[in-house]
Amino acid sequence: MAKNKSSDYKASNIQVLEGLEAVRKRPSMYIGDTGQRGLHHLINEVVDNSIDEALAGYCDYLKIIIHEDGYLTVKDNGRGIPVDEHPKLKLPAVEVVLTKLHAGGKFDKNTYKVSGGLHGVGVSCVNALSASFYAEIHRDGEIHVMEFQKGRTVTQLKSVGKTKETGTIIKFKPDPEIFTQSTEFKFDIIADRMRELAFLNPEITIDILDEREEDEELREKTFHYAGGVKDFVRFLDENREPMMNEPIYISGEVDMVPVELALQYNNSYTENIFSYVNNINTREGGTHISGFRRALTRCLKSYAEKNNIIKSNSKITISGEDFREGLTGVLSVKVPEPQFEGQTKTKLGNSEVQSAVEIVVYEKLNEYLEQNPKIAKKVLEKVVLAAEAREAARKARQLIQRKSAMGGGGLPGKLADCSINDPEHCEIYLVEGDSAGGSAKMGRNRSFQAILPLRGKILNVEKAKINKILENKEIQAMITALGAGVGHGEEDFDLEKLRYHKIIVMTDADVDGSHIRTLLLTFFYRYMQPLIEKGYVYIATPPLYRITASRGQIDYAWDDDTRDKIIRDLRKSNKKFDVSRYKGLGEMNPDQLWETTMDPETRTLQQVTVENAAAADKMFSTLMGGDVEPRREFIERNAKYATLDI
């Protein structure tokens, strides 16, 4: 069908605007949410395109600049977004890429790509959700620029000069009408993702510059890791004691699927395997992870049998997870057309990838074991210990279950339970100390709020075996109260049985309080991870100050600035007042505790989320791991975040 040019142009243009209008109307459908996570997702959408250029071999440098005025720049030295006319739409290709949904422009199936892989929304969404958006393209010897506001073109593509380079510079300012909570970029969130990308792409150098920061040492960071995934594993295990001199490194390619893996056994009791497909963290695992697990189990089992390390008359049965206790690893595969499944679309579905990974890992790991018999023996001895601990833990679990079945109603004696039993509407406060527990019990709304006082410190699960962890009284009480079990297997932990959908950690606002909070979060992260993934864990935020003025006027302040403002206002109105600092929750009477920290109408809870799994692992192993010195340094460096933004 022949159409004239101008109506064609109009038609496609209208379609474009409707597309981006849809993004602005329902942003969460495209970027997940409009909070902190969605805001930072904008950066990833842009960066993904630069990473695609790197995967295709055209880009080895990336720079992110956080500007003082709310703008953010992503600059790369890739080929630059094409600027020639799109044959169908009769628009410059760059305009199509930046204003049309899903228009990556890259239809070549034989390349590995990230953009459009996970959320599939592309840079046009960033454009739609930006108050203003500039693109500067260095390509074919010329500098091309184009400008937009809220996705609408305000400056048509034009050439503004000559260049010898190629690359793309995108500068945008998120629209506060969309991101109503905040449009402030967090250096740490960006740095965690850029570090991860630099580990996964050893050829890339990534710079981040925070122009808001005055401290020269904190303003700039450069990530470049020539050692790739091997460096990644070393980094993750910095605060653990490795069992080998250097990580095992495995690489190979089967059926167009390049596989890369680094592995290291250490002195911890947790499994820390991170997997990536085209640089996307596959949190829910998938076929590549099953391929890896099968290869690891088969390899170690047959080595043990061949070398008589596990006696054939031994009573212990070794299960797959025993081979992975105390194992840190990074698996990175590239897949031309990845199928992502699962609740968060982070589970790889391509069946061909399982055998590709299994073949590569089996062969190379076998070779390694044959060449390193001493290490192989040490690893297998550790595996046997893991199997024994697992067996002991199974018995401990049964004991917890039996004990709770015998006790009245099956719940721990210290628990003041709520009266309704619909988990979705039930909350449990885990409270530090008996006296605060007492206030909380009196102050609560007993219909939907349960209180479990915890005495003293819980065990540091980062340093203990699972069977020891399950012997700990406070941990037992939590497991029974929550009702969902404990551990990694599907039979071990069952979210369906969880008795509360809000688990609120309430500790004092002091050093001990923050230590106990971290111990609890570490336990949940390591042994009840779905609670955190689901967003069921929260931190209560009791006030730091109470300001009492005449006529019974009481104000609370959560920080020094607010306290000072309240004091100024009271002085202005010539009122007498008294300021007291809460040293602990126990000092608050039940009414005050309810009003400030427990009443759903007035309290603020901080939801515990994990933005970046590798960064969270690093944080917990640093905070709770062996050496005091790295822990002290980490806390000093991250004083603002240390316990919250994991």
Q: Which residues bind ligand 0RA (CB under 6 A)?
A: 46, 49-50, 53, 76, 78-79, 81-82, 97, 105-106, 123, 168, 170
Whose Cβ is closer to ligand 0RA: residue 141's or residue 535's? Answer: 141
Q: Choose between 47 and 547: whose C-beta lies nearer to ligand 0RA.
A: 47
Q: How far is the CB of 115 from ligand 0RA (least distance, A)?
A: 8
One of 48, 76, 136, 508 is an active-site residue; which one? Answer: 508
Structure tokens at 200: 């996964």
Q: Is 343 exposed, middle or buried (0-12, 13-18, 19+ CB in 10 A)?
A: exposed
Residues 159, 457: Cα–Cα separation, whole Å: 65
In the complex with ligand 0RA, which residue's Cβ is closer, 89 or 233? 89
Rounded distance, CA 310 to CA 386, Å? 13
603 vs 458: CA distance, rounded Å: 26
Least distance in angstroms from the C-beta of 144 to ligand 0RA: 13
Beta bridge partners, 145, equal 136, 158
- Catalytic, 18? Answer no
Contact status, residue 364 vs residue 252, Cβ threshold 8 Å: yes
Please identify which of the residues 188, 321, 512, 599 carries the catalytic annotation. Answer: 512
Q: How far apart are CA 541 and CA 426, in angstroms?
A: 19
CB count in 10 Å sphere of residue 607? 13
In Å, how far are 47, 187, 220, 572, 590 from 60, measured between CA atoms? 13, 22, 18, 60, 59
Cross-strand pairs, 62? 76, 206
Number of residues written out for the chain = 646
Q: Which is nearer to ligand 0RA, 108 or 629 (CB)?
A: 108
User: Which is nearer to ligand 0RA, 104 or 453 (by Cβ)?
Assistant: 104
Inter-residue contact 251 to 260 (CB < 8 Å): yes
Strands lying side by side in the sheet with 347-348: 285-286, 347-348, 340-341
**Measured between alpha carbons, how far is 254 from 257 in angstroms, rounded to an integer?**
5
Least separation in angstroms between residue 152's CB and ligand 0RA is 19
CB of 631 to ligand 0RA, least distance (A): 39
Rounded to 5 degrees, what are φ and ψ at 645? -80, 70
Question: Please, are residues 45 and 126 in contact by the beta-carbon 8 Å criterion?
Answer: yes
Residue 470 DSSP code:
T
290 to 345, 354, 355, 359, 547: CA distances (angstroms)? 17, 6, 9, 12, 58
Least distance between ligand 0RA and beta carbon 168 (Å): 4
Q: Are 521 and 646 in contact (CB under 8 A)?
A: yes
Closer by beta carbon to ligand 0RA, 136 or else 474:
136
Catalytic residue chosen out of the listed positions 203, 494, 510, 564: 510
Q: Which CB sits closer to ligand 0RA, 97 or 229?
A: 97
Task: Report the residue number, 168 or 467, with the smaller CB distance to ligand 0RA.
Answer: 168
Smallest separation (angstroms) from ligand 0RA to the CB of 82 = 5
Q: Residue 508 catalytic?
A: yes
Q: Which is nearer to ligand 0RA, 164 or 576 (CB)?
A: 164
Residue from 155, 102, 157, 105 nearest 132 by CA? 155
CA–CA separation, 34 vs 25, rounded Å? 12
46 versus 531: smaller Cβ distance to ligand 0RA: 46
628-637 vs 613-624: helix crossing angle, rounded to 10: 130
427 carries an active-site annotation: no
φ/ψ of residue 118, rounded to 5: -85, -60
What ranges make up the beta strands (E) of 380-528?
427-432, 449-454, 502-506
Smallest gap from residue 90 Cβ to ligand 0RA (A): 17
611: left (phi over 0), alpha (psi -120 to 50) or beta: alpha
Minimal distance in Å, beta carbon 64 to ligand 0RA? Answer: 12
211/205 Cα distance (integer angstroms): 19
HSE-CB for 480 with a 13 A CA cutoff = 31
Question: Rounded to the nearest whole angstrom, what is the least distance from the CB of residue 50 to ligand 0RA in the complex?
Answer: 5
Nearer to ligand 0RA, 82 or 285 (CB): 82
Minimum distance from residue 468 beta carbon to ligand 0RA (Å)? 50
Q: What is the 3-state secondary structure (H, E, C) of 262-298?
A: EEEEECCCCCEEEEEECCEECCCEEHHHHHHHHHHHH
Q: How far is the CB of 539 from ligand 0RA (least distance, A)?
A: 37
Is-catalytic flag, 512?
Answer: yes
**Residues 358, 432, 533, 555: which is the catalytic one?**
432
E-strand ranges in 142-189 read 142-149, 152-162, 167-174
Q: Which residues does the annotation mark as catalytic?
A: 432, 508, 510, 512
